[in-house]
Amino acid sequence: MHSKTKEFYDQFVLKNYASPPIAIVRGEGTRAWDDEGREYLDFSTGVAVNALGHCHPVWVKAVQEQVAQLGHCSNLYASPLQGDLAKRLCQLAGPGKIFFCNSGAEATETLVKLSRLHGKKVSGQENQRFQVVTARGSFHGRTFGGLSATGQEKTQAGFHPILPGFSHVKFNDLVLFSEAITENTSAVLIEPIQGEGGVHAATVDFLCGLRELCTNRGVLLLLDEVQCGVGRTGTFFAHEESGIIPDGIAMAKGLGGGFPIGAVWIHEQFAELFQPGSHGCTFGGNPMACAASLAVLDIIKSENLLQNVRDLSVWYKRELQALKTRFPSLVDGVRGQGFLIGLVMKREVGPLVAELRDSGLLTVPAAGDVLRLLPPLNVSTEDLQTSLQILSSVFHNNENQVQ
Ligand code: PLP
């Protein structure tokens, strides 16, 4: 990393993140380059943000044209693009309405606020029915609502008292979720695939069971698809495989393909809970963000990317599974769906992430022992093969060191 970048980071950038090892300055497709000209195969994709890889030409053109026409107008006025995008997202999610924001945390925060409004409506008063049941190991963002919903103490450490009203139950355990729902519960909030928690997928039975449970008990079923949504699993939403219709969905990350945008879909039955003045977001649905997001949706469709994810991920996961046979002392297994993949290792993955990066492959650690592989939705077989070669070579070196 150039010394000036490092110096400025050390001196002026808040130390809430681990010190970054390299500076990325350019990207094209599946490749990214650092400030010393080194090339990387980028399977970190900005932590599942760059769904189309870097600088897809159609996406770039859409953003460039929009910034030259209108950069921002606020939600005091209508933006045609916001209407278009809301319609497209409702076509994908079901009959309902869309709220726009900038990030995943704001999106999950909105779901938490929805649960409060629902609880107030059904109990007839505030402060009565506001409990939200979420899963252990979940991650829902860094705002107070998000971190209180999060089922990981490390996210909450230092920030107590967290918001009251959240309970955390073992993921995929319908009996425990059922027991956790009381007369004071307003919603259940889960990720169909836990990303930060180590790539754990909800089973179809669990999702279907939760849907039935929530309907029977008058509780909202809210899904956080911030990481697993927008095509990453081979369907637009990760929950689609189960056939359920949730009451709310949080989206962000891949939705803008690199332009910050978050969105919440709320089922039409509950959309009226928000009334003018009850919620808002200055930048939410900004024309540039909507243009970027519409381009993402167009490209996913025109390039048949959901099919690409489905076709290639099955083969890729089989090849990754073969690494377990070849490197049994290192690799424990493969988890996840589509291109939200967790390679479970038998050791802490920090050093491996660094070695893979030095060998030209960018990956993301999760939950201590999981290597997250998040190729863009339009990745090619050749790039997947290259990643396998780099993984094999780094694992080979590590195995030799162990012996
Ligand atoms: N929800 C999930 C499932 C996430 O994975 C994340 C981020 O990793 C968030 C919420 C928070 O999103 P953001 O960092 O955009 O606020």
* Percent above pLDDT 90 for the chain: 99
Flag whether pLDDT at 192 surpasses 80: yes
Helices 381-402 and 350-358 sit at what angle, rounded to 10 degrees?
120
Q: Is the CB of 225 under 6 A from ligand 1?
A: no
Which DSSP letter does residue 202 get?
Answer: P
The rounded distance, in Å, linking the Cα atoms of 177 and 224 is: 17
pTM: 0.98
Flag whether pLDDT at 312 surpasses 80: yes
| 110-152 pLDDT tens trace | 999 999 999 999 999 999 999 999 999 999 999 999 999 999 9
Q: Report the separation in Å between the CA atom of 252 and the middle of ligand 1, taken as the mean of its atom positions.
A: 8
The amino acid occupying position 16 is N
Q: Is the CB of 227 under 6 A from ligand 1?
A: yes
Flag whether pLDDT at 182 surpasses 70: yes
The rounded distance, in Å, linking the Cα atoms of 305 and 328 is: 33
Segments making up each domain of the chain, as ranges: 1-37, 59-302
What is the number of other CB atoms lying within 10 angstroms of the CB of residue 196? Answer: 23
Average pLDDT value for residue range 256-262 = 98
Six token digits for residue 66: 């929009």
pLDDT of residue 93: 98
Catalytic residue numbers, as ranges: 139, 224, 253
The rounded distance, in Å, linking the Cα atoms of 11 and 310 is: 45
The amino acid occupying position 159 is F
> Which residue out of 49, 108, 239 has the highest number of ligand 1 atoms within 8 Å of its CB and is therefore the one to mutate?
108
Q: Report the separation in Å between the CA atom of 104 and the middle of ligand 1, taken as the mean of its atom positions.
A: 4
Element (H, E) at 41: strand 39-42
Q: Which residue has the tokens 């050791």?
A: 347
> Which residue out of 253, 261, 283, 374 has the highest number of ligand 1 atoms within 8 Å of its CB and is therefore the one to mutate?
253
Strand runs labelled E in 209-348 = 220-224, 248-251, 262-267, 331-337, 340-345
pLDDT of residue 399: 85
Element (H, E) at 101: strand 96-101
Atom 12 in ligand 1: residue holding the nearest Cα: 104
The rounded distance, in Å, linking the Cα atoms of 83 and 207 is: 30
Atom 13 in ligand 1: residue holding the nearest Cα: 104
What architecture (CATH level 2) is domain 59-302? 3-Layer(aba) Sandwich (3.40)
Six token digits for residue 339: 């291109």
Sequence-distant (6+) residues with CB within 8 A of 259 are 63, 288, 289, 292, 293
- Ligand 1 atom closest to Cα of 253? 15
Confidence of residue 400 (pLDDT cuts 50, 70, 90): confident
Flag whether pLDDT at 402 surpasses 80: no
| 65-84 pLDDT tens trace | 999 999 999 999 999 999 99
Mean pLDDT score of the chain, rounded to an integer?
A: 97
Short-list 389, 336, 393, CA closest to 41? 389
Average pLDDT value for residue range 94-98 = 98
Sequence-distant (6+) residues with CB within 8 A of 277 are none
Flag whether pLDDT at 282 surpasses 70: yes
Flag whether pLDDT at 333 surpasses 90: yes
* Percent above pLDDT 70 for the chain: 100
Q: Is the CB of 103 under 6 A from ligand 1?
A: yes
**Cα angle: 97, vertex 101, 102; to 5 degrees:** 145
The amino acid occupying position 352 is L
The rounded distance, in Å, linking the Cα atoms of 292 and 208 is: 33
Which DSSP letter does residue 162 get?
Answer: P
Which ranges constitute the DSSP H helices of 158-271?
174-180, 204-217
What's the length of the chain?
Answer: 403
Q: Would you put residue 206 in left (φ > 0), alpha (ψ -120 to 50) or beta? A: alpha
> Which residue out of 45, 109, 138, 139 has the highest number of ligand 1 atoms within 8 Å of its CB and is therefore the one to mutate?
139
Q: Report the separation in Å between the CA atom of 379 and the middle of ligand 1, taken as the mean of its atom positions.
A: 23
pLDDT of residue 403: 52
Q: Report the separation in Å between the CA atom of 141 and the middle of ligand 1, taken as the mean of its atom positions.
A: 5
The rounded distance, in Å, linking the Cα atoms of 292 and 259 is: 6
The rounded distance, in Å, linking the Cα atoms of 4 and 97 is: 47
Flag whether pLDDT at 287 surpasses 80: yes
| 204-256 pLDDT tens trace | 999 999 999 999 999 999 999 999 999 999 999 999 999 999 999 999 999 99
The rounded distance, in Å, linking the Cα atoms of 129 and 117 is: 9
pLDDT of residue 401: 76
- Contact between 200 and 138 under an 8 Å Cβ cutoff? The reply is no
